[in-house]
Homo-oligomer: A and B are copies of this chain.
Amino acid sequence: MSQAPHPFTLRQLQYVVAVADRLSFRKAAERCHVSQPSLSAQLSQLEQALGVRLFERDRRRVLLTPAGAELVERARRLLVDADQLVDAAKRAGDALAGTLRIGVIPTIAPYLLPGITPAVRKQYPLLTLRWTEDKTETLVRSLDAGTLDAAVLALEARVGDVELEVIADDPFVLVTAADHPLGAKRGPVSAAEVKGANVLLLDEGHCFREQALSFCETARAHELEFRATSLPTLVQMVAGGAGVTLLPSLALSTELPRSDLRVRPFANPAPHRTIVLVWRKHSPLAPALRELAGTLREAYPEVFPLAGSTAKTKPKPARTAARARR
């Protein structure tokens, strides 16, 4: 649309309004902290630009012409809008007091979000998070396109050229039916034990599938032909005796305990994923996102005491003793 420089200045509008209020060039000039000739010059310039006489000059006083009166009203509104624009921008300057669009993968979203939402709301009461759930590849594309400000992903996936901050380490566990041989023993399960087992995995496209599959290949376990579309389905199929599976610890508190299933951690080196918050390189939101990631990292072990790597340093963190961070 408009590419030519605007025919008037916000300053000129201020002058018009000042004169309309005081009905005197001198007093208006005082109020605007400029000299009377400067103000006069700007106003006649404005009149020339608009092609309208705005004021009726008289040595005693100044009167508004009908055109001037209308312009003053518009000028007032415009100046108010301009001020509001400044205010809005200043408010928007604090990214943690606005809206952030963040993506999450399906094997994290339903387990993480309910848990950390209260902590985020508490820490950043003015922040609104707009979550988008999709597979890693889609999220990374959206991120690059600028449709998302950040994403919560597993670092082990192809994550693109981004900056990131670790939120938590999420070790995998072995899940078997209660009557399955591998579920009979307690304590950490070694890769050797799993050798030859029939393992159920997620569908293509889920990065968790790739991560679990990579472990299975190392351990020489077999993948079954059936693939599940979600973790709850996977668990259900294991309970039905179709085979064993791996689950991220994050999902445990939601999917388990179940009397028909057994869960065993893995012996080192245990398969795991690293949950990270990622954002575009050069994103001006980087500082804010880094801080947000810190908040998530701190909230994580409190909300998921069974899961996070940080939990190792605090073997039994009291679930109720969530320190309020100011």
Contact = CB atoms under 8 A, between A and B. Distances in A.
Contact of A56 (B11, B81, B282): B282
A31 B5 CA distance: 12
A10 B6 contact: yes
Nearest to A80: B1
B93 A52 contact: yes
Interface string A1-26: 11111111111001001100000000
Contacts of A31: 3
A112 interface: no
A50 B93 contact: yes
Given A5-B11, A6-B14, A70 B92 contact: yes
The bracket for how many chain A residues form the interface is 35 or more
A82 interface: yes
Interface stretch (A59-67, A191-199, A224-232): A59-67
A149 interface: yes
Contacts of A8: 10, 82, 85-86
A92 B85 CA distance: 28
B77 A89 contact: no
Interface string A43-86: 00000001111001110000111110011001101110111111
Interface string A265-291: 000000000000000111111000000
B75 A85 contact: yes
B284 A56 contact: yes
A146 B51 contact: no
Select the residue from A3, A71, A283 with max chain B CB neighbours within 10 A: A3
24 contacts: A2-B14, A3-B18, A3-B33, A6-B10, A10-B10, A50-B89, A50-B90, A50-B93, A51-B93, A58-B281, A63-B146, A64-B146, A65-B95, A66-B92, A66-B95, A66-B101, A67-B95, A70-B88, A70-B89, A70-B92, A71-B85, A71-B92, A74-B85, A75-B85
Given A50-B89, A50-B93, 18 more contacts: A1-B79, A2-B14, A2-B83, A7-B86, A8-B10, A8-B82, A50-B90, A52-B92, A56-B280, A56-B282, A56-B283, A64-B146, A65-B95, A66-B99, A67-B92, A70-B92, A75-B85, A78-B81
